[in-house]
Structure 1
Amino acid sequence: MSQKNSDGKRSARERLQEQRRLEESRAKRKRTLIAAAVVVAVLAAGGGIAALVAGSHSAKDNKRQTAGPLLAPQGATGTENLAIPVGVPAAKATLTVYEDFRCPGCGQFENVYRDTVHDLENKGQLKAEYHLVTLIDKNLGGSGSVNAANAAACAQDAGKFLAYHDELYKNQPPETQDAYGKKSRLLELAGKVEGLNTSTFQQCVENGTHDSWVKKSQETFSKSQYRATPTVLLNGKSIYGDPANPLTPQKLRDMVAEAQKG
C-alpha cells in the first residue's frame, strides 16, 4: 500500500470519527437541554407545591392562634352583623336580648316569656334581635356557651334558629355541668328540630364555623354598658331585672301594644 493511499484512508477515518464526535456532542447538548428543562419544570412545580404547603402550614398556625375568619350567620343584622333577627322586620316593637345558653337566668326568662314573645311575633307586633354571648364560659370555664352559640348560628344558616334556640333552653343543663361543651349533645338536640341535623349542620357545629363571630359578639357586649345576662330591651329601654318593677307576660303585651300606637 502506498503512503498516499494510507494517508487517504487515515484521513477518511479521522473525518468519520470527527463527524461522530460532533454528532455525539450535539446529542449530549440536546439531552442536557432537555434535562435542564425538566429540572426547571420540576422546580417550578415544586415551588408551587412548597408554596401550597407553606400556605397550609401558615393557615394551620394561624388557626391555632385565632378561631378563624369572622363569619356571621346568614341573615344576621345590626352593627357588624352581630344580631340574629326573628319576626317581621316592620314590627314597631323590637325586643333586644343579650343571652348565654349556659345562663340559668336566661333560661328562666325564655321559659317564662317564650309563648308571649312568639305570639306577639306571629301577630307581627314584635320582632326580636338575639345577641349570643359567653359570660359563663368566661366566669366558670368550659366551652358550652361558645359551642351552643355557634350551633345556634349554624341553625340560623339552616333557617332553623328559633326552633333550635328554644330546644337549647328547654333542655338547658345546670351551668356548672357545661354539658353543651360536648358537641355531641348539641347535635343530639338538633335531632329534635325537623330537618336541622344534616351533614352541613354537623360540619358547622364540629368545625366551630361561627366561633369568631360569637367571640366578637362577646367582646362587643363586654365593651357596652351592660354587664349581666339576660339583658332585655324593648325599643332600646331595659325592661327586665328590676325587682322594684318586675316584668310579667301581661306587662310585656301592654308595652308592645303601646309601641303600636307610636
Structure 2
Amino acid sequence: MAKKTSSTKAAGTARQAKIQAAQKASGGGSNKIVVATVVVVVAIVAVVGGVVWSQAKKQASVGTSTAVPAGSSMGKPFRAYADVTPVAGAPTVDLYEDFQCPNCGQFEGILGETIRDLGQSGKIVLNYHVLNFLDKNTGARNSTPAANGAFCAATTGKFQQFHDAVYRNQKTEGEDVDQATLDGWAKVAGITGSALTAWNTCVADGTYDRYIQSVNDAAFKLPGFQGTPTVSINGEMKDLRTVGTVEGFTKAVQDATK
C-alpha cells in the first residue's frame, strides 16, 4: 500500500508539474504576443508622427495662406500687364525666374526693357513664373521674401516696378533678404501711403509664400525644365543662346506672331 500511495503521489506531482509548465509556457506566449503588438503599435505611431511632423514643418515653411495674385491660381503664372489688350496673334511668353538667380539678373539687364515694351504694347502676353528653389539650394531666405514682396506689390498695381527694382539692386546669391532690403525695393517701386501699409502687412504675413512654392513645384514637373532663366514662347522652351539677345528675342517673338 505504501508503495502504491507513493506512486500515486508521484504521478500527481508529475501531472501538476506538467500543468504548471504548460501554464507557464502559455503565459509566456501571451506575453510575447502582447509585447510584439505593443512594439508594432509604437512603430506605427512613430511613422505617423514623423509624417505629421514633416508635413507640419513643410507647411510652416510655406505658410498657410491660400492667397494667389489676381487672375492666377495655385501653380499657375502671374500675368503682367493684364489690363492691356493683346494685338491680334500676339504670342504668349512665359518667363521662369528666381529673384536670387544671378543669371536671371543678367538676363533681365539685357532683355528687361525689351520685354516690358513688348508687354506694355500688347505684342506679347507676358507671364511670370517666379520660383524659389534657390532658397533650398543655398540655405538663404532670399527668393521667397523677394517674390512675396513682388506679389504684395501687385495688389497695389506695382508688380513690375518692384520686380525691376529687385533686379536693379539684386541681393547676392546665398544672402538673406532682410526687411530693410524689402523696404528699399518698395520705395524704389513707388509704394507709399496706405498702399505701403497694406504692403507691409502682406509681407509680414508671407501672404503669397504658398503660391510661390506651388509655382516652383509646377515648373520642375515640366518636361525638359532645368532651371532659371527659362523662356517659353507659345509653350515651346527656347534655347537662351538663340533668344538671349535683343535681336534674337525680338525675332523669336515676330516668328511666333500669327
**TM-score computed with the length of structure 1 as normaliser:** 0.68
The match for 1:52 is none
The match for 1:185 is 181
Secondary structure of the structure 1 residue equivalent to 2:185: helix
The match for 1:234 is 233
Q: Name which of 55, 60, 67 aligns with 2:63.
A: 67
The match for 1:256 is 253
1:134-177 Cα offsets, whole Å, 9 max, x none, are 12111111211111111111011111101110000010022022
1:241-261 Cα offsets, whole Å, 9 max, x none, are 34xx4632012112222333x
Q: Name which of 104, 121, 132 aligns with 1:106.
A: 104
8 Å Cα contact 1:70/1:212 also seen in 2: yes
Q: Name which of 95, 98, 104 aligns with 1:97.
A: 95
Secondary structure of the structure 2 residue equivalent to 1:189: helix
Q: One-letter code of the match for 1:214? A: I
Q: Name which of 207, 213, 221 aligns with 1:223.
A: 221
1:85-117 Cα offsets, whole Å, 9 max, x none, are 123353411110111000001111111001111
The match for 1:195 is 191
Counterpart CA distance in 2 for 1:259 and 1:217 is 25
8 Å Cα contact 1:72/1:81 also seen in 2: no
Matched, 1:83 2:63: no
Secondary structure of the structure 1 residue equivalent to 2:64: coil
**TM-score computed with the length of structure 2 as normaliser:** 0.69
Q: Mark the CA change 1:246 to 1:131 in structure 2 (over 3 Å): closer, same or farther.
A: closer
Counterpart CA distance in 2 for 1:66 and 1:172 is 22
Task: Detail structure 1 runs of 4+ shifted over 6 Å in the superposition.
Answer: 60-63
Matched, 1:171 2:165: no
Counterpart CA distance in 1 for 2:171 and 2:229 is 17
The match for 1:19 is none
Q: One-letter code of the match for 2:197? A: S
Q: One-letter code of the match for 2:127? A: E
Secondary structure of the structure 2 residue equivalent to 1:233: strand
8 Å Cα contact 2:75/2:215 also seen in 1: no
Deviates more, 1:91-100 or 1:66-75: 66-75
Q: What value does the CA root-mean-square deviation take over the aligned residues? A: 2.4
Consecutive unaligned residues in structure 1, runs of 5 or more:
1-59
Aligned length: 196
8 Å Cα contact 1:132/1:217 also seen in 2: yes
